């Protein structure tokens, strides 16, 4: 995960407060880390993420539960007196890395900031479990929230899917699957620097090929791990690559945030335009001085913290039925 240096640095406008984060990232996972054995990749990523963990808000109760056989970490404000909107959260990590240990503080802070009950899915990882394993796990958690959520203080009629990076794809795939199955639709989507396509020739992939935190080569590894060999059926499935979808008019109101220094920037912009043309309420926010995974640097960078707060505002707005906010 390269950190560009030198006078010709195309990412010179990156927020200075994030450079410490990206320096540690590049030290822990240097260029070519995607070729390491999976156990080594996962251990390095878990250790790095935990080194940036912030103390959990005291106002949130955290517990590990199982939702229809899928392990989840559950976050709920302790003083809530009534059922809260539920957030089904897909963590990032290229479908290959990550889990509750890497996203614990972020989800706890989101729960506290938005007064929502968050279910962080510990979904099966690729390449051992390629697409559609992650979608299957998301559907199981959605079904659990609909059936058993009220007993855990979740409003089963007010469920939102949210996720960062690979979790963004998972969120859209869940909404698409609910439509296909004629099941009640989500109240909203929150897509945080999401992967929404498999086209690595977009301008942002070219411009940010060696960006900090996520490179084009790394993204290629993640896509192949998730979708299988290039050209196989999953590469052409809109649930796996939502930017391939035709009709998206049935999707719920959606908030998308992208970062200018991210290969995935155009994925989110393209999808936002697709939603807009289909008449779906959509809010798009671009962070001009941030890169992929900026939420993790929120306590080290003022722009990253403001980006995190914008995500929380949008999530709360959707939960309250006021639509997305950019």
From the candidates 138, 165, 293, 301, give the one annotated as an active-site residue. Answer: 165
Does 325 map to a domain?
A: no
What is the phi/psi pair of residue 299, to 5°?
Answer: -90, 5
Q: Total structural domains in the chain?
A: 1
Taking alpha carbons only, the member of 81, 133, 77, 74 closest to residue 100 is 74
Where in the sequence is the domain holding 41, given as residue range(s)? 20-319
Q: In the predicted model, is pLDDT for residue 3 greater than 80?
A: no
8 confidence band (pLDDT: 50, 70, 90):
low
Q: In the predicted model, is pLDDT for residue 202 greater than 60?
A: yes
6 confidence band (pLDDT: 50, 70, 90):
very low
Taking alpha carbons only, the member of 97, 65, 87, 70 closest to residue 213 is 97
Does 326 map to a domain?
A: no
Q: In the predicted model, is pLDDT for residue 235 greater than 70?
A: yes
From the candidates 103, 152, 261, 292, give the one annotated as an active-site residue. Answer: 292
The pLDDT assigned to 4 comes to 39
The pLDDT assigned to 1 comes to 41
Pick the more confident residue, 323 or 3: 323
**pLDDT tens readout for residues 264-284:** 999 999 999 999 999 999 999
Q: In the predicted model, is pLDDT for residue 52 greater than 90?
A: no
Does 7 map to a domain?
A: no
95: domain CATH number is 3.40.50.1820
| d(C-alpha 155, C-alpha 232), whole Å | 39
Is 91 annotated in the active site?
no
Does 10 map to a domain?
A: no
Furthest-apart CA atoms within the chain: distance in Å: 58
| 233: Cα within 13 Å, side-chain hemisphere | 3
Q: In the predicted model, is pLDDT for residue 184 greater than 50?
A: yes
The pLDDT assigned to 268 comes to 98
Segment 235-254 mean pLDDT: 98
Is 292 annotated in the active site?
yes
Does 229 map to a domain?
A: yes
Say what the pTM is: 0.95
Length of the chain, please?
326
Pick the more confident residue, 326 or 94: 94
What is the phi/psi pair of residue 135, to 5°?
Answer: -65, -40
Does 238 map to a domain?
A: yes
Q: State what percent of residues in the chain have pLDDT above 90.
A: 85
Segment 308-317 mean pLDDT: 98
Does 14 map to a domain?
A: no
**pLDDT tens readout for residues 147-177:** 999 999 999 999 999 999 999 999 999 999 9
From the candidates 262, 266, 293, 301, give the one annotated as an active-site residue. Answer: 262
Does 267 map to a domain?
A: yes
Is 262 annotated in the active site?
yes
| d(C-alpha 158, C-alpha 78), whole Å | 19
């Amino acid at each position: 995960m390269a950190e560009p240096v030198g006078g010709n640095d195309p990412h010179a406008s990156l927020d200075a407060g994030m450079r410490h984060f990206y320096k540690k990232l590049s030290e822990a996972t240097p260029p070519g880390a995607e070729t390491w054995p999976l156990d080594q990749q996962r251990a390095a990523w878990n250790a790095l993420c935990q080194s940036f963990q912030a103390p959990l808000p005291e106002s949130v109760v955290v517990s590990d539960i199982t939702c229809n056989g899928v392990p989840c970490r559950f976050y709920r404000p302790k003083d809530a007196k009534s059922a809260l909107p539920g957030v089904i959260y897909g963590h990032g990590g290229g479908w290959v890395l990550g889990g509750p240990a890497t996203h614990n503080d972020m989800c706890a802070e989101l729960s506290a900031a938005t007064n929502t009950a968050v279910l962080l899915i510990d979904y099966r990882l690729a390449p051992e479990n390629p697409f559609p394993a992650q979608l299957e796990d998301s559907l199981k958690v959605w079904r659990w929230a609909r059936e058993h959520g009220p007993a855990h203080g979740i409003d089963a009629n007010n469920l939102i899917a949210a996720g960062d990076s690979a979790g963004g794809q998972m969120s859209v795939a869940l909404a698409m699957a609910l439509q296909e199955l004629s099941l009640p639709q989500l109240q909203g989507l929150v897509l945080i620097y999401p992967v929404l396509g498999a086209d690595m020739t977009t301008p942002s992939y070219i411009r940010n090929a060696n960006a900090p935190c996520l490179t084009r080569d790394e993204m290629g590894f993640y896509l192949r791990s998730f979708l299988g060999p290039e050209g196989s059926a999953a590469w052409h499935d809109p649930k796996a690559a939502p930017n391939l979808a035709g009709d998206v008019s049935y999707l719920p109101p959606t908030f998308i945030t992208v970062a200018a220094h991210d290969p995935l920037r155009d994925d989110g912009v393209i999808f936002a335009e697709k939603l807009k043309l289909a008449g779906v309420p959509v809010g798009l926010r671009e962070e001009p001085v941030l890169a992929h995974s900026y939420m993790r640097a929120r306590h080290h960078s003022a722009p990253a913290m403001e980006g995190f707060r914008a995500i929380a505002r949008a999530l709360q707005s959707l939960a309250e039925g006021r639509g997305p906010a950019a």
